[in-house]
Amino acid sequence: MEELEFKSSTLGQLLDRAIERFPDNEVIVYEDRDFRLTYREFGELVDKVAKGLMALGVKKGEKVAVWATNVPYWVVLQFATARVGAVLLTVNTAYKTAELEYLLRQSECENIFIIDGFRDTDYVLTLYDLLPELKTQQRGYLSSSRFPHLKRVFFLGHEKHRGMYSVAEVLALSVMTDDEQYRARQEELDVHDVVNMQYTSGTTGFPKGVMLTHFNLVNNGYWIGKNQLFGPEDRICLPVPLFHCFGCSLGVMAAVNHGSALVILEGFDPVSAMTAVEKERCTAIYGVPTMFIAILDHPLFPKFSFASLRTGIMAGSPCPAPIMNRVIEKMNARQITIVYGLTESSPGMTQTRVNDDIRKRCETVGRAMPGVEVCIMDPELRTPVPLGVPGEVCCRGYIVMKGYYNMPEATMQAIDQQGWLHSGDLGVMDKDGYVAITGRHKDMIIRGGENIYPKEVEEFLYGMEGIRDVQVVGVPSAKYGEEVCAFVILKDGSSYSPQDVIDFCRGKISRYKIPKCVAFVDGYPMTASGKIQKFKLREEAARLFPDA
């Protein structure tokens, strides 16, 4: 494990240093509306919002939820809440009424900022549905039996809504908090205070509120950026959601640690991403593999210049080698990195380095972050396994969360007595410390006693010309317990039958690994952060192939 000195800074102190060193560097850029803030301007806006929140009575330790797409005030709130010791509570933009109700109740949330809505969900109507009291009670005196902790609702927009504070009002109230009060609040803070709560995506069971500290995020952000060689001249195209750790941790925290700029997209669109890269001369780009595929396969791709690109992060799901090669060669991102981790690990646990070869970038998720221990353990015995032997990927160090909010038993299951965080992911480690993810423990297919790792079959099928993407899951089988099922997306102009896919496998992989069932689809069910929901594919496989 590499020796390093940890940064003992709050998010506010980190921002202060960036303002001092790079006052005139841009930090927030929205190319589509020509919205730009330098570090100095950003800091002034953060201070105004923070003082306004204090004037309204937001106390140290209160949760402030943000239910919004990547709007300009999102990152401002990330630092304003940190300045006053509040806890930023990120809310998935795809949530519906029942999911929001669960989050607000389980988190005991006191404050929430919302936008007008996203896709087919009207956020304002959703709040009024959950909180009819908003229309009748005086602002600042909200009393709800359904949400006894909730005190304030804010709207991130120009319109006024009954019972909700506007951003303009928050800014105007900033004069009610003097500098002495503001400094005193910040002096109360400790680097090990919880500053961020992110709810796990909930692809299995109920979502859990991951508590992350200043210490977790500042240090992980520093090394995420350092491993991409970030500096004040770098500009990061950020089309991933800020509510997810990919955006607010890997993106924002890496940038502010190194004085870099964030070129933010309110939502992912391949043309908008390409435009931002070209016009803003972005040196880095973040995304899940499906985003990179959408860019590379877009008919307008040849019209754009990627000459400025150098690095970035591809994460969220495994990257097929052909896609990685195209990102490096066609998008000029020759120093693109892979990051692996969990929300519970702040989130970066491992990362490839900019000079790693193509094999390491495609076949592994890199090696441990500096200052972090990564170990492969037997998932049942919870003891280390030898190099090259599959097991559960675990980590220990400064990146490990403080715990799950109000879930002590779940916390104890995730973090053992020796401080190891258990990921639930299966992987192997080579002699150089590089980790390859073979699948999730629960995703493993067991056919007639044989263990099958979906990723292995997926990687093989990517070699079939005409296949654009493939996801492999288990389908129940009366004879073998489970059979292999492949959900295939074909490239435009390709035409295959299920038998063609099966025939392609014959003689090339073990018979028990060959898909028994093949379904052709146009897309996959995804979380709002771009992760494929394999549990839904398993449900669909059971419905489509009941006699497997």
What pLDDT, in 10s, does the model give residues 54-70?
Answer: 999 999 999 999 999 99
Q: Give the domains, in start order, of the chain with CATH numbers.
A: 11-22+37-199 (3.40.50.12780), 444-544 (3.30.300.30)
Q: Name residue, tokens 């919302």.
A: 114
- Interatomic CA distance for residues 487 and 468, integer angstroms: 11
Structure tokens at 408: 């002590």
Please report the sign of the dihedral spanned by the C-alpha atoms of residue 462, residue 467, residue 470, residue 476. Answer: negative
- Interatomic CA distance for residues 371 and 220, integer angstroms: 10
Instruction: Please report the pLDDT score of residue 205 as a whole number.
Output: 54
DSSP 410-430: HHHHHB-TT-PEEEEEEEEE-
What pLDDT, in 10s, does the model give residues 185-241?
Answer: 999 999 999 999 999 854 345 789 999 999 999 999 999 999 999 999 999 999 999
Q: Name residue, tokens 């000459």.
A: 307
Q: pLDDT tens string for the chain (548 positions)?
A: 445 678 999 999 999 999 999 999 999 999 999 899 999 999 999 999 999 999 999 999 999 999 999 999 999 999 999 999 999 999 989 888 988 999 999 999 999 999 999 988 999 999 999 999 999 999 989 999 999 999 999 999 889 999 999 999 999 999 999 999 999 999 999 999 999 999 985 434 578 999 999 999 999 999 999 999 999 999 999 999 999 999 999 999 999 999 999 999 999 999 999 999 999 999 999 998 889 999 999 999 999 999 999 999 998 777 878 889 999 999 999 999 999 999 999 999 999 999 999 999 989 999 999 999 999 999 889 999 999 999 999 999 999 999 999 999 999 999 999 999 999 889 999 999 999 998 777 777 888 767 787 888 998 899 999 999 999 999 998 888 899 999 999 999 999 999 999 999 998 887 889 999 999 999 999 888 788 999 899 999 999 999 88
Those residues whose C-beta lies under 8 Å from the C-beta of residue 83, and which sit 6 or more positions away, are 11, 12, 46, 47, 50, 182, 185, 186
Bridge pairing between strands 284-287 and 311-314: parallel
Judge whether 286 and 236 are in contact, CB under 8 Å: yes
Question: What is the percent of the chain with per-residue pLDDT over 90, rounded to a whole number?
Answer: 82
